[in-house]
Structure 1
């Protein structure tokens, strides 16, 4: 190549690079957000979902998109996380939708409702079964865009100071349980109580309440419930597969470059799988320790489960008659659940039952 041609080629290449570099920089701006969590740092697995999200987003964007995570109470109280996003106090939060049933009972369904979906079904419905789109249409009025960002797996039915054998034993029982589940239990005579996590142990110890639901063995162990309420019941039929969500301010979401939106979606999917896996690893060992320390494992009786199912269906019908958005969502969830169990009873359930019975032998 002649000297003149070489210089021309080099100049053209430099010019192309000069044009391309600003375009790349423009698509990967420096972005710094704040995320407020509904959870304390002591609940490292569920709070850790926000940290997992933050770390993954940073890695996927070469550190250009930074999300700083704040525990409940550091910016706003845990149950005000959604409001902080709606009002643009923070760009996003990490929370559970059913905390906000006071705004609209429809908020319960994308997280968990009594006798709803198990973990895999809930994840499937929200990601590929139409649930995610249905709820983001609903969430528009609250100025948020939602992405699932965690799942605890099926939870436990709670801790009680005395045995609960029949539906009659629920009459007058004061229990820490809230939201849709609390309304269901109230139909059976339970007196629902709303208490923060740190207030449950002293209330059980003093007899101010007779029982309390929390999460599962790993998280429950930290609060010492077995010392003051030895009867540990299962399953938590009101939380068969509760989903945790990242709520993002609508305008902030729309302002993100497409590659940053993709990074957030990918990070939330990873955090969802990671949270479930961590609980699945931690809960068996924690349950062994709790039983070793004196916890008395008890299943809810068939009578209690049937009574609670009947009360749940009655409540859903009552709410649906007044709230068309709730009706649309609960009908969609139940239709998805019924089809899922057609498959589940053929493969998943049959396999699991055989494995459990084989282990018992």
Structure 2
């Protein structure tokens, strides 16, 4: 397993580099072919390479991704290494070790029949080209197991996830000379400041109303990126405000969407355009409850430590499988910490136990 993990980590696969993702797909495809005895269906959508294996009539969907957030060349500063039971390298935790565990779990069974394996190449950027594949593959399955890393270094599974929305509020003003006749302009930066405060108030009100209604906590509405203007001596004619939204329920997602699209300009002469909207729907706790109970029982039978389930704010492709009506359990991948950070690592000793747990879950749910 470590040799396979090294091979995947050494093939860098930054999401934004489609050629690198295509090379990674070849390496992942070869690994899957060797372990599963069959080659994948290679699906390229808008330049992004995805892989899918289908064995018989699927009852179980295994979901992973082979792209990472690490820019090309990151291996120079974050080389592959295994020291004192800790594996490091770009994407080792999120989620190349999960892919290795997934393939080995399925290969350990007498037959892969009844299983679909989907490995996409754009999860880290929202699965924009693979969402349809994920949803189509999930429909009709009895279970989806997502090989994202565990929720923490103790190995907790992810039993609920917030949904995500992304917006950009575009403010149109009017340029004018900032020194000679600023009064003839419409300052888009000032209007953007008004909108930042309005959006923050919107988030505070939604948070106060929704804090007690979900294990995922309250919705969050956060202004993030802000830009305005073209020159130091010119009244800004254009400004942009990016907004990150996380929601515990579909109802909250719809409500916030309506409020965002209802924003109005407060500066005379300014105009607003709200772009974006919902991305991933929430993965609500009900979608994982029975599978988590099964996983807990199987872990006990395998002599493993008791499992813990955690609701998290981040989203994954599990949001899509759950919304498609497929019971979903997430966080079954590697145990470690530091995903997306310089400290990213995998605890090697946990790879085999997690693989055995997944193999038992597949066995129990594909019947």
Query: What's the TM-score bracket when you normalise by the shorter of the two chains?
Result: under 0.3
Tell which structure's C-alpha radius of gyration is larger: 1
TM-score, normalising length: structure 1: 0.25
More helix by share: 1
